[in-house]
Amino acid sequence: MAEAAPRAAASSEPGLALLSRIGTVQLASPSFLAHLSLSEPPREIRDLDVFLTALGFEPRPTMQGLWEREGKALTVGESEAGAGLRVVWTLPAGADGAGQVRSKSRLLALASHDLRGALANFRSYAGLLLSPKYEHDPKVRRGLETIVRNTDRALSFGQDYFDCSRADLGTLAYEWVRESLVPLLERLQSRQQPLAEQAGVGLFLVPAEGPLPDVTIDADRVYRALEALLLHQLSVAQPGEQVSLEARALPGRVVVEVRRAGTPESAEDTRSIFQREERAFREHKLEDPLRMYLARQIAQAHGGDALAHSDAGGTSLVLSLPT
C-alpha cells in the first residue's frame, strides 16, 4: 500500500521518454508507464502511431494527438530533441476525456431536438395556411411563402451546425451501405436544376466513361457533401456560366468533380474553400463555410477527401471516396 500513492500521483503528471535514432527507449518519467498501463519500458518505438495502436489505443480524428482506450483519453505527442533524438510525452486528457465528449454530444443532441422541433412546428403551420382551402391576400401569401422558405433554410443550417459540432467531437454517426454514386448524382442534379435556372447557370451531369464501382458510404451524408459542393459553385457562378457533375473511376477510388467553367476563384479563395473559421470571419457569414467544412469532414470519415483547385478555365471541387 505504501507504493500505491506515488504511482497514482505519478499517473496524473506528464510522462516522458527519450527515443534514440533507431527508436530505443530511455524512460524519463514513471508516469509514462502508468499512462500506457505498462509494467516495463518498451524496447523500441519506431512509429508512435503504430505503437499506440498496438496497445489498443484509438485516435480521435478531429482532435490531433488525442488517443482513447476503454473510456480513458490520453494526449500523446513527440518532438525533436536534437542530435537525432526524440522526446515522447503523455498526459491524461482530464479525469474522463471520453466522458466529457459523450456529455457534450448529449447536450448537442438535446439542443438539436429542441431547436428543430420548434422550427418544424413553425414551418408546419405556415405550410398549412398555404393550403388551397385558405384564401389570402397576395401580400399575406408572399409573407407565408417567405416564412416557409426561411424556415427550411434555418432547419438546414441548424442541421449542418450540429453535425459539424458532432464531427469536431468525433461522434457524428454513419450508416454504411454499399451502392452506386450514379443515383445520388442524378437526384442532386434534378433537385438543384431549378436553382441553377433561376441563377441563369447551366447545370448538367456528364455520363461516366464506363461502369463505376460501388462504394461503401453513408448515402445521405455523401449526398449532403456533394450538395454542399454544388451549392457553393452555384452561389459564385455568374449568369451564362456552366456547372458540371462528373464521376470517374480511378485506381482504388471514385472521384466526383463539380466543375464550374467560367471566372476562376482567386488563389486565396480556392485555398480556403473548406476552412470554416477563416472564411466565416472574412466573409461575415457562416452558411456556406459550414457546409463546405462538413463536406470535407464527411469525405475524410469515409477514408477520402475533398479538394479544390482553380485554373484559367474555372474552378473544380473534387470529392474522392475509396472503393
- Tens of pLDDT, residues 109-165: 777 777 778 888 888 888 898 888 888 888 998 999 899 888 888 888 888 888 888
The three cell numbers of residue 34 are: 502508468
CA angle 186, 190, 195 (to 5 degrees): 140
pLDDT tens track for 163-217: 888 887 777 888 889 999 999 999 999 999 999 999 999 999 999 888 899 999 9
Look at residue 101 in the predicted model and tell me its pLDDT: 62
pLDDT band of residue 225 (cuts 50, 70, 90) is very high
The yes-or-no verdict on residue 32 having pLDDT over 50 is yes
**How far, in Å, are 19, 117, 148, 250 from residue 190 at the CA level?**
58, 28, 21, 26
Residue 234 cell numbers, joined: 452555384
Name the band, by pLDDT with cuts 50, 70 and 90, for residue 95. Answer: very low
pLDDT band for 275, please (50, 70, 90 cuts).
Answer: very high
CB 213 within 8 A of CB 249: yes
Ramachandran quadrant class, 303 (left: phi over 0; alpha: psi -120 to 50; beta: rest): left
pTM (predicted TM-score): 0.67
Residue 4: the pLDDT is 37
